[in-house]
């Protein structure tokens, strides 16, 4: 029997060292090294029939080309995020806060695929089969093609895969599964890495679409080494506020589609319901004629979304003013305030500034700069903008408004929702004809945009 050795592994990147270090030499993170036992030699019998393959290398010109075959589910929002549907043989990692609805989403997806006569195996390591059945009763996800097993031992899971031969496999969650050949606790770096690598081989060789559910850390990232995200084909984050019923499914990595798509759901008593028009959802509670409120046309993948931006600027008695933002990068907000101070002469050094994206969505693209600047200026001047104006455009450090992509889709979405004017960069008008029935005001600087907004 091999002698066990003690090693230390980083929970962020998986770097291994023979002794404990305060700072990881791989990623530079502090206090992330945890003690683990050295991995012993794996047995020959466990999973040998699954992980072996006799395929030989072939010239790339002799490999068949074409788009990946996809399996569409009844959840169109999920299909959009995945790039058109589930790809057979793909490995998908789904992360999210506890209780956000990951198991509900995957159980509804499993039922949708089982309804198409596909065999689905749902492995639950955190709930009993009776608890899963109670959730299925509530969701109406009952079909004889959906198999459920409560197991955490990799050997038993392999036997179940060989017995059922599923087309779709769900592991809920990867942190609970353990390999008997790895001498460390379930959820450790070695266990998570080894189990994920095994399921990756299963998915690729047998052509089984596999979904792994991952726990998240306090910072919201998927727990375990970062290499876990490099091993899978698709990484999805299920986001949302616990006190709100709306949930966002966001792709941060996708080898078979776009990484900018989002899917929006509403959590109800009977499970998740799709939200087909998110713009109406985010603007449903927008107050009219209030200073600091503007509407921005943002792009989430291929979908234009209209969202309300709210700003509050108020005088502070402290020497250092406070800057807070929700849904927008804090550094981007500081840049916009600096441009307003330098180029527009607004004295914001004695003002606290708060910026919020209503509805809980996060906007990462620079096209929201212009709307954020108008919102801050509106609150600072206590002058509301017109209630049916839409803004978008990137702001440069010299005060210019730079062009953004897909302006035509943004304008059409604003027109569809009944807005009257769009204030946008002049250089974004090239290559397309604005539709009739909506006024297009092209601007080149922030000063022109503010004149148009408050004129």
102 is in an annotated binding site: yes
* Spatial contact of 249 and 75, defined as CB atoms under 8 Å apart: no
d(CA 300, CA 282): 14
* Spatial contact of 435 and 452, defined as CB atoms under 8 Å apart: no
Q: Name the DSSP class of 224.
A: S
Beta-strand ranges (E) seen in 329-398 are 351-357, 389-391, 394-395
103 is in an annotated binding site: yes
426 is in an annotated binding site: no
99 is in an annotated binding site: yes
Token pair 């769009």 is found at 422
Q: Name the DSSP class of 198.
A: H
Per-residue buried b or exposed e for 346-372, using 16+ beta carbons within 10 Å of the residue's own CB: bebeebbbbbbbbbbbebeebbbbbbb
214 is in an annotated binding site: no
Q: Which DSSP string do the residues of 71-112 spell out, in sequence order?
A: B--S-HHHHHHHTSSBPTT-EEEEEE-TTSSHHHHHHHHHHH
**Distance from the first to the final alpha carbon of the chain:** 82
d(CA 110, CA 64): 30
92 is in an annotated binding site: no
Count other C-beta atoms under 10 Å from residue 387's C-beta: 15
Pick out the residues of the known binding site for ATP.
96-103
Pick out the residues of the known binding site.
96-103
């Amino acid at each position: 029997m091999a002698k066990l050795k003690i090693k230390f592994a980083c929970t962020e990147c998986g770097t291994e060292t023979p002794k404990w270090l305060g700072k990881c030499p791989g990623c530079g993170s502090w206090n992330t090294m945890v003690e683990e036992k050295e991995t012993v030699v794996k047995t020959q019998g466990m999973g040998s029939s699954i992980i072996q393959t006799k395929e030989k290398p072939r010239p790339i010109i002799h490999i068949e080309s074409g788009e990946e075959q996809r399996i569409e589910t009844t959840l169109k929002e999920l299909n959009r995020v995945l790039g058109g549907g589930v790809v057979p043989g793909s490995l998908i990692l789904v992360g999210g806060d506890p209780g956000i609805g990951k198991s509900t989403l995957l159980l509804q997806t499993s039922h949708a695929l089982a309804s198409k006569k596909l065999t689905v195996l749902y492995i639950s390591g955190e709930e009993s089969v009776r608890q899963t059945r109670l959730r299925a009763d509530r969701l109406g996800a009952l079909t004889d093609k959906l198999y459920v097993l409560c197991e955490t031992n990799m050997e038993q899971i392999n036997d179940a895969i060989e017995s059922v031969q599923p087309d779709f496999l769900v592991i809920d969650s990867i942190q609970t599964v353990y390999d008997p050949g790895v001498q460390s606790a379930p959820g450790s770096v070695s266990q998570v890495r080894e189990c994920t690598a095994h399921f990756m081989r299963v998915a690729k060789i047998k052509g089984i679409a596999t979904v792994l559910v991952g726990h998240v850390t306090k910072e919201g990232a998927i727990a375990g080494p970062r290499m876990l995200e490099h091993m899978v084909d698709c990484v999805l984050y299920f986001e949302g506020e616990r006190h709100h019923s709306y949930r966002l499914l966001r792709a941060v990595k996708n080898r078979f589609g776009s990484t900018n798509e989002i899917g929006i759901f509403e959590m109800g008593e009977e499970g998740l319901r799709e939200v087909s028009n998110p713009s109406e959802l985010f603007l449903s509670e927008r107050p009219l004629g209030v200073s600091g409120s503007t509407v921005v046309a943002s792009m989430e993948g291929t979908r234009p979304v209209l969202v309300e931006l709210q700003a509050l600027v108020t005088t502070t008695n402290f020497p250092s003013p406070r800057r807070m933002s929700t849904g927008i990068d804090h550094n981007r907000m500081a840049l916009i305030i600096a441009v307003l101070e330098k180029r527009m002469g607004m004295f914001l050094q004695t003002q606290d500034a708060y910026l919020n994206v209503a509805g809980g969505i996060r906007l990462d693209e620079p096209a929201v700069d212009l709307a954020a600047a108008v919102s801050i200026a509106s609150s600072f001047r206590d002058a509301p903008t017109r209630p049916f104006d839409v803004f978008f455009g990137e702001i440069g450090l010299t005060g210019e408004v730079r062009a953004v992509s897909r302006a035509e889709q943004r304008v059409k979405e604003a027109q569809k929702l009944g807005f009257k004017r769009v204030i946008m960069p002049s250089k974004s008008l090239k290559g397309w004809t604005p539709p009739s029935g909506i006024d297009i005001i092209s601007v080149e600087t922030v000063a022109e945009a503010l004149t148009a907004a408050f004129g």
